[in-house]
Structure 1
Amino acid sequence: MHFLQGPAPFLHRNCAGCAQPSRISLLFCLRLCCSQLATKAASMHLFTGRLTGSFAVKLLLAAALVILGDQLFLATDKEIGALPIATFFLAQIVALMIARPAVRRDPRALFALAIATAMAVGMALKPNPITFLLFWIAVGVATLLPRTGRFDDGWRWFQRLVVLGFFAIPAPFIDRNHGARAASQRGWHRPGLLGLLRLLALPLAGSAVVVSLFAAANPVIDRLLATFSIPLPDGTTVWRMICWVMLLLVSWPLLRPRLARRLFGTFDGSGDWAIPGVSTGSVLLSLAAFNLLFAAQNAMDAAWLWGLVPLPEGVSAAEYVHRGAYPLIATALFAGLFVLVFLRPGSATAQNRAIRRLVIAWIAQNLFLVASSALRTIDYIDAYLLTTLRISALLWMALVATGLFLILWRLLKQHSAAWLLNANLAVAGLLLCVCAFVDLGSIAAQWNVRHAREIDGDGAKLDLCYASSLGGSSLLPLLELEQSNAPADLRQRARWVRRDIMVQLQDEVDNSGGSLLDRWRLAQAWRMLDDKRATPTPTIRDCYGRPYR
């Protein structure tokens, strides 16, 4: 704003050597001014960087995190809920950015912190193990990234994260010893705990003797000392102190991370590997046999799963579907392992044209096998309704199919083992991030309510016990069923199960604050009920909503 009033006053205030800009070139003054201001800015940036990254600031931030954790988790009579955990996670992210200026300047670390922030928000929405795990992985990667040259591969990063977690307990003591050693090298002689005790032993003991003599001689001092009492720690205090230490141990490694000095290298997975009994001919024959066996299995799946040929007598469709869904995935994993071990890029087997063609055909058949396994699972769902385990199985099959495709692509393009590992981890991480924000239980409950035999006349009967086990995930679907045109008996039983779930959710919200998703579900449920807070007459009923006999 000062510069808008004219260049001369601005240069006079801010630049030494330009007090009389009329005597020298105005352009020269501008250059000189910019240079001096840049120097001041760099000095200020260096000062603030040292200030925010200093050991003392990290100690203060760690103490602040311990105090915050004490207030969130210990200084309340309520149970630990989702919101306090999410708040503590977000506070750790803020403390990390303050304590580590290098993290703020590294785009890779900022991206990892963005993922960690998303996982912290996910904890507030609906806490689950996936969100919890992904948060710690993301924040651990963020604090270590500025100290690594580049993101090499997942195996090495797994070791770095293990070392970071392993040194969580001794890290504060190691840093304290390093600080004392550095201070002694600079001539600052700070006594340790034992030295401090030796220093204070004589003054404290002598003062105690003198005070005891004064108390014997002076009744006023004696009465004053009698009013003092040393409080003894009770069980609650001891537990609280243990929690303080635990909070410090989970916070300090993020502020002062320890980078693994030695790492085990990633398995190269290229070139020839001398294995007894393995040759180009044996691998060629193995692939030919595998292709024939897989062709037979895929032909049976195509004939029976698509209804082209009736199943043999004594074998039901449900049995055929159930028995084959998961073992066939193990077969596909075996195929992937075989290709990784015996067809390493650059090996003689991988360079053989006939073997490469057989591998392409075999992996294509494996992909068809995985698709058949997924179809088996879908048929099983049609017969026995949907569960979170079956949804997870379908997602796992999709991961296996993606992994097989990546193995084939790596073989064709001669990529390294690190590339294959990182590609698979990226796909798995993306899927886990999606699952962290998607309630599989709600999907299962919604599907079961809409496709139960009582609703569409096909499939299995609605399993209200399973719906009850899903908790809040099945609240809104059961409420929709209760208000639908379903049979009266089913609607009545669904009403009782829904009522129990609402009571449980309300108790969680009252005792621990609950999660944001549970609060939203309760609000939606009361809105669908027109805010009629009356509950059914208390009666002992089972998970199907039927009275006990």
Structure 2
Amino acid sequence: MQISVFSAAGLHPPGRRSFLTKAACALALVVLADVLFFGQGVGWTAGLFSLAWVLAVVIARPGVLAGRPSVAALAAAGLLALTLIDDPGTLAFLLVWAALALAVLLPRAGAFDDAWAWSCRLAVHPFSGLLRLAGDAVVWTRAWRRVPVGLRRLVPLLALPVAGTGLFLALFASANPVIRDRLASLDPGALLRGITPVRVGFWALTGAVVWGVLRPGHLLRLAAAPPAEQRPPSAIPGVSIASVTLSLIAFNALFALQNTLDVAYLWSGAPLPGNLTLATYAHRGAYPLIATALLAAVFVLAALRPGSPLAANRLLRRLVYLWIGQNVVLVGFSIERTLNYVDAFSLTALRLAALIWMGLVAVGLVLICWRIWRRRSTAWLINANAVAVLAVLVGCIVVDLGNVVASYNVRHNREVAGTGAALDLCYLHRLGSSALLPLIELERENLSPETKAEVTALRATIMRRLTLDQADWHRWTFRNARRLDAAIAAVGEQGEVAGCDPCL
């Protein structure tokens, strides 16, 4: 009895999306990745590859089009792929992968329970995919060995055509100098010399990533615990209505003291003790206060779980509302501290990320309060926070944060505004093309001749590099095309500029 590759592997018959279809899609993606990325810069090609990946998922796994959740995930992957065409980034690519993984896993899970469970599944998914890839390789090898002897039939079939073609080609080469010279110029070893260990590793890594999405493993159920609502709330040692009440009273008093001090020093302008400056006071407190707010959130979630006697106590709920309100005020003061530090030492991408994170913490605290008030489930709280985080991440992808930082520093520095931090041209240099248009804006300001020459030289350096990047079709992006067009419209074509880049 003949055993096909499909039956030996326990796979779908050829009438459906077969193993070979998935393998062909994976191979096509590996070849496309080699052409677009290996030894090349990354530009709009990241979006092109992501769109091809979305198309491969539709071809290899048509079941993703059967349900609304998987279709929504697939559509999200396509939209994120478009953002990669505009401006490539690691975060956007990771979100494309997560959306595609969701699209192929959702039909197997049946429903979307909560974001935490799916985060666990996505964390396990790459390892599950590697195990599946190894198992498929073993099954494929065994199945291929059972295929009826075909090579022995293929050799006699091809022997005459190959030998005859070679003979006539040799005769034509001896009679035609053009054919002879063309054959002599061929280098059969060039292809083999291009296959290096690094390139093979690149193929293997790309194949493993795309194969894990096209043919996911079976660890889906092991990756998620049952929802919290299905587990009865258990008592926590040392936690009672009396202890939590006393704790919340003490916590509220302590937080009120901290917030009062912040009002005194940050808003009313009261003098700080000793040699402590406002910038130092702001910087020391910003991050510890955020950690304090997070610990407060953990305490509330652990002590006042839905269905527990503590959550049903009206006094406790009111104390919690007061405490969460104080935590939101505390986060507000942390943001105020960070802004004061930015005024003294300029804005950086890390400080902007910290401000965004603080805003997310405040949103999370408000959601906890809403959950207690409206008696929402744990799954609702997790999903609401996940939506907030995803909205922020997508916003960070769409908005050029480097341009935001550069624009702020250009407009708020000592050389332009007369107050604030000194102009840090080297940091603007590290921001790359994101700083080009703000530098052009800065170049028009009334600067000292020395500073203006440095700004012009830095702008010319960044513009020249951007022009070279845009000339390479691998690294070309829509965002940089718009940026370069705006720069050319403002200062003209890039030419030689007197002066030297101060950061080189």
Whether the TM-score (by the shorter chain) exceeds 0.5 is yes
**Aligned residue in 1 for 2:480:** 518
Is 1:55 the equivalent of 2:19?
A: yes
Write out aligned runs for 1:12-23 (5 A). none
Contact 1:69 1:88 in 2 (8 A): yes
Q: d(CA) in 2 for partners of 1:237 and 1:289?
A: 66
**Aligned residue in 2 for 1:251:** 210
The amino acid across from 1:409 in the alignment is: W
Q: d(CA) in 2 for partners of 1:538 and 1:377?
A: 36
Q: d(CA) in 1 for partners of 2:347 and 2:47?
A: 31
Go from structure 1 to structure 2 and tell me whether the alpha carbon gap of 1:266 and 1:334 turns closer, same or farther (over 3 Å shift): farther
Superposition RMSD in Å: 3.0
In terms of mean alpha carbon deviation, does 61-70 or 171-180 score higher? 171-180
Q: d(CA) in 2 for partners of 1:408 and 1:146?
A: 34
Q: d(CA) in 2 for partners of 1:129 and 1:63?
A: 23
Q: d(CA) in 1 for partners of 2:367 and 2:215?
A: 37
Q: d(CA) in 2 for partners of 1:485 and 1:136?
A: 48
Instruction: Tell me which of 332, 347, 370 is aligned to 1:409.
Output: 370
**Aligned residue in 2 for 1:220:** none
Question: 1:168 Cα shift?
Answer: 2.9
Go from structure 1 to structure 2 and tell me whether the alpha carbon gap of 1:419 and 1:123 turns closer, same or farther (over 3 Å shift): same
Question: 1:430 Cα shift?
Answer: 1.0
Write out aligned runs for 1:115-134 (5 A). 115-134=76-95
The CA deviation string for residues 417-473 of structure 1, in whole angstroms up to 9 with x for no partner, is: 222211111110111011111111101111111121221222122111111111111
The CA deviation string for residues 324-377 of structure 1, in whole angstroms up to 9 with x for no partner, is: 111111110111011011121222222222211111110011011111111111
Is 1:320 the equivalent of 2:274?
A: no
The amino acid across from 1:113 in the alignment is: L
Seq. identity, %: 42
Instruction: Tell me which of 129, 133, 145 is aligned to 1:191.
Output: 145
Q: d(CA) in 2 for partners of 1:237 and 1:293?
A: 64
Q: d(CA) in 2 for partners of 1:277 and 1:238?
A: 59
Give the total of aligned pairs.
Answer: 458
Go from structure 1 to structure 2 and tell me whether the alpha carbon gap of 1:538 and 1:318 turns closer, same or farther (over 3 Å shift): closer
Q: d(CA) in 2 for partners of 1:431 and 1:344?
A: 27
**Aligned residue in 2 for 1:43:** none
The amino acid across from 2:298 in the alignment is: L
The amino acid across from 2:29 in the alignment is: L
Is 1:168 the equivalent of 2:125?
A: no
Question: 1:113 Cα shift?
Answer: 1.6
Write out aligned runs for 1:295-306 (5 A). 295-306=256-267
Q: d(CA) in 2 for partners of 1:316 and 1:72?
A: 53
Go from structure 1 to structure 2 and tell me whether the alpha carbon gap of 1:58 and 1:271 turns closer, same or farther (over 3 Å shift): closer
The amino acid across from 2:82 in the alignment is: V
The CA deviation string for residues 190-232 of structure 1, in whole angstroms up to 9 with x for no partner, is: 6359x979x97xx99xx9xxxxxxxxxxxxxxxxxxxxx9969
Is 1:474 the equivalent of 2:438?
A: no
Contact 1:81 1:515 in 2 (8 A): no
Q: d(CA) in 2 for partners of 1:247 and 1:192?
A: 29
What 5-or-longer segments of structure 2 have no aligned partner?
A: 1-12, 160-186
Question: 1:266 Cα shift?
Answer: 4.5
The CA deviation string for residues 476-533 of structure 1, in whole angstroms up to 9 with x for no partner, is: 11011112333333222211111222233234334543432223222221221122x3
**Aligned residue in 1 for 2:199:** 240
Question: 1:538 Cα shift?
Answer: 6.4
**Aligned residue in 2 for 1:268:** 228
The amino acid across from 2:222 in the alignment is: R
The CA deviation string for residues 35-64 of structure 1, in whole angstroms up to 9 with x for no partner, is: xxxxxxxxxxxxxx9756233322322222
Question: 1:321 Cα shift?
Answer: 1.3
Write out aligned runs for 1:115-514 (5 A). 115-175=76-136, 191-192=145-146, 233-234=192-193, 236-259=195-218, 260-266=220-226, 268=228, 272-307=233-268, 309-510=270-471, 512-514=474-476
Question: 1:153 Cα shift?
Answer: 1.2
Contact 2:129 2:213 in 1 (8 A): no
**Aligned residue in 2 for 1:216:** none
Contact 2:347 2:408 in 1 (8 A): yes
What 5-or-longer segments of structure 1 have no aligned partner?
A: 1-48, 184-189, 208-228
Name the SS for the 1:314 alignment partner.
coil
Q: d(CA) in 2 for partners of 1:288 and 1:98?
A: 60
Question: 1:178 Cα shift?
Answer: 5.5
Name the SS for the 2:397 alignment partner.
helix
Q: d(CA) in 2 for partners of 1:494 and 1:263?
A: 53
**Aligned residue in 2 for 1:535:** 496
Contact 1:453 1:461 in 2 (8 A): yes
The two structures have a TM-score, normalised by structure 1, of 0.76
Q: d(CA) in 2 for partners of 1:496 and 1:482?
A: 10
Contact 2:129 2:212 in 1 (8 A): yes
Name the SS for the 2:311 alignment partner.
helix
Q: d(CA) in 1 for partners of 2:459 and 2:149?
A: 64
Q: d(CA) in 1 for partners of 2:284 and 2:471?
A: 45
Question: 1:238 Cα shift?
Answer: 4.2
Go from structure 1 to structure 2 and tell me whether the alpha carbon gap of 1:319 and 1:230 turns closer, same or farther (over 3 Å shift): closer
Contact 1:66 1:244 in 2 (8 A): yes
Name the SS for the 1:257 alignment partner.
coil
Go from structure 1 to structure 2 and tell me whether the alpha carbon gap of 1:413 and 1:463 turns closer, same or farther (over 3 Å shift): same
Name the SS for the 2:242 alignment partner.
helix
Question: 1:141 Cα shift?
Answer: 0.6
**Aligned residue in 2 for 1:66:** 30
Which entry has the higher C-alpha Rg, 1 or 2?
1
Contact 2:129 2:217 in 1 (8 A): no
The amino acid across from 1:161 in the alignment is: L
Contact 2:241 2:310 in 1 (8 A): yes
Go from structure 1 to structure 2 and tell me whether the alpha carbon gap of 1:438 and 1:460 turns closer, same or farther (over 3 Å shift): same
Q: d(CA) in 2 for partners of 1:239 and 1:317?
A: 52
Q: d(CA) in 2 for partners of 1:430 and 1:488?
A: 44
**Aligned residue in 2 for 1:187:** none
Question: 1:114 Cα shift?
Answer: 1.8
Contact 2:439 2:459 in 1 (8 A): yes
Name the SS for the 2:447 alignment partner.
coil
The amino acid across from 1:191 in the alignment is: R
Contact 1:346 1:414 in 2 (8 A): no
The amino acid across from 1:58 in the alignment is: K
Contact 1:131 1:436 in 2 (8 A): yes
Q: d(CA) in 1 for partners of 2:197 and 2:265?
A: 65
Go from structure 1 to structure 2 and tell me whether the alpha carbon gap of 1:389 and 1:163 turns closer, same or farther (over 3 Å shift): closer
Question: 1:415 Cα shift?
Answer: 2.4
**Aligned residue in 1 for 2:179:** none
Go from structure 1 to structure 2 and tell me whether the alpha carbon gap of 1:305 and 1:237 turns closer, same or farther (over 3 Å shift): closer
